[in-house]
Amino acid sequence: MQKTLKLSSFLSNYRGPPLSYRLKSESVSSPSITASLNIITPTGEATDPKDFNGLSTGAGFWGVSTSLNFSKSIDPAVVFFNIGYQHTFEEEQFGYNIQPGDAYNYGFGAGLSVNSLVAFSGRILGSYQKETKLNKKIVQGTISESVSLIWSMSYRLNDKIRIETTLSQGVSEDADNVEIGFAYIWNL
């Protein structure tokens, strides 16, 4: 089965580590609340938006995203929920002014600590991306609604460093089929 490439599906950029600030610490009766801000930088090379057979290695767009994250410990588990918004700025590429649609993101799930070193988690991440605009005109068919199921395992090397492996499986038509990831996480 061949899947048609949508304009919005190749607009991937690098999202560096977010700037996060804990607004409220967890208490017995309420979750912790953390706000995050992330700058999105252009990476790789984009393809012409009218060339649906070309594969891009990124896109030339700057953006900004923000989110609110809620988490509550229920020993030995943690449950969490997040909501976010992403804006990508208009850029001129291939003679077109391209404005990727803004995205509204959400996620929820739970983590379980097996012991002081190993933890497992499962979560659902979703995103609704509005229409892309090409020369200020909406490009029909570029709305994207992706939902993915993500499983991960984290191993703590010491108090500041942990490694995490992830397996992501798309559960909607607009989501990537399967992704495998590895992260090296260093807490300052």
| Whole-model pTM over 0.85 | no
Domain assignments of the chain as residue spans, ordered by start = 7-186
Banded pLDDT at 122 (limits 50, 70, 90): very high
Contacts of 109 (CB under 8 A, 6+ apart): 79, 80, 121, 122, 123, 124, 150
Q: Output the average pLDDT for the chain.
A: 84
pLDDT of residue 115: 92
Q: Is it true that domain 7-186 has CATH number 3.30.2010?
A: no
Question: Between these two residues, 24 and 93, which has the higher pLDDT value?
Answer: 24
pLDDT of residue 60: 73
Q: What is the pLDDT of residues 111-120, one digit of tens each?
A: 999 999 999 9
pLDDT of residue 70: 97
Q: What is the pLDDT of residues 50-77, one digit of tens each?
A: 665 655 556 678 899 999 999 999 988 9
Query: Does the structure show a pLDDT above 90 at 40?
Result: no
Select from 32, 55, 58, 34 the least CA-distant residue to 45.
58
Select from 49, 164, 63, 44 the least CA-distant residue to 105.
63
